[in-house]
Every structure is written in structure tokens, then in C-alpha cells.
Amino acid sequence: MSRKVFLILLMVVGLAGCSLDDDNRPNVVYGYVGVDAVDVPDSFELGETYEIEVDLTLSNPCLDFAGFDMIRAEENTRIVRTVVAQYEGTDCDQEEARQITEIFEFQVIFTEDYTFKFLNGVDENGEETFLEFVVPVNS
């Protein structure tokens, strides 16, 4: 469901960004960036909401954090990708990378252990790689 909402939002933003007059506004392109580190709790309590710190590197000043895309792969498995916006048509010094920390909020609704897979890159075969964490839920 969340992936469908994200794709629809992406299409709406893309269509809204189309203009017949050229007024030199930058185009925005959305994509994913891998995380550097994730600080997950040792355990969860049922019904609680947690703020999970996610560290990532934005490779140039034209990238901005835009949110998280979470997919429920199985009942208690979550695949999380970090969404960034890149502004095309603006001056960007490609050498200026910056590290940021963002908060991923998560509400615990099941009693079974949760598995999180945070995108952290792509391997030599073009396959996504993940940082994986299993967090037990206290009963």
C-alpha cells in the first residue's frame, strides 16, 4: 500500500512540475540513497512508537532528504529505503558531501519480532544490499 501511495505521489509531483513556460525553475527528481548506519532499540514494547535514527550521506548539495519509503515485505518484515530529492538545473558543487541524521518513526503493532532491512547500497551486480536488524517485542 505504501509503495502505491509513494508512486502516485511521485506521479502527481512529476505532473505538477511540468510547465509549458520556461521560468528557470529547477526540476526535481526523486531517488533512493543508501544509509550509513541505523540506531535501532534493543527491543520494542507493544503499542509504543519509536524514533529510529538513520545516518546517511548526501553526495552533493543538490540532494535533500525527502522521507522514507517503507514496504511491508512480510507481516513483521519491513524494507526501508531513504528517499532523496535532486534539484536539476541548479549550480551544485559535486564535491560537497554532507552527513545527516534523520528520524524514522515506527509504531509496534504486532507481538512477534520485527525484521528491518534498510537499503545501504547496490552491489557489483546491481542488486540492492541492506543493513538488517531483528528487534524482539517484549510481551
pLDDT, one tens digit per residue, over 91-101 is 665 667 899 99
State how far the Cα of 22 lies from the Cα of 115, in Å rounded to an integer.
47
Through-space distance between the first and last CA atoms of the chain, rounded to whole angstroms: 28
pLDDT tens-digit map of 27-55 = 889 999 999 999 999 999 999 999 999 99
Only one residue has cell 532499540, namely 41
pTM above 0.85, yes or no: no
CATH no. for 33-138: 2.60.40
Residue spans per domain, the chain? 33-138
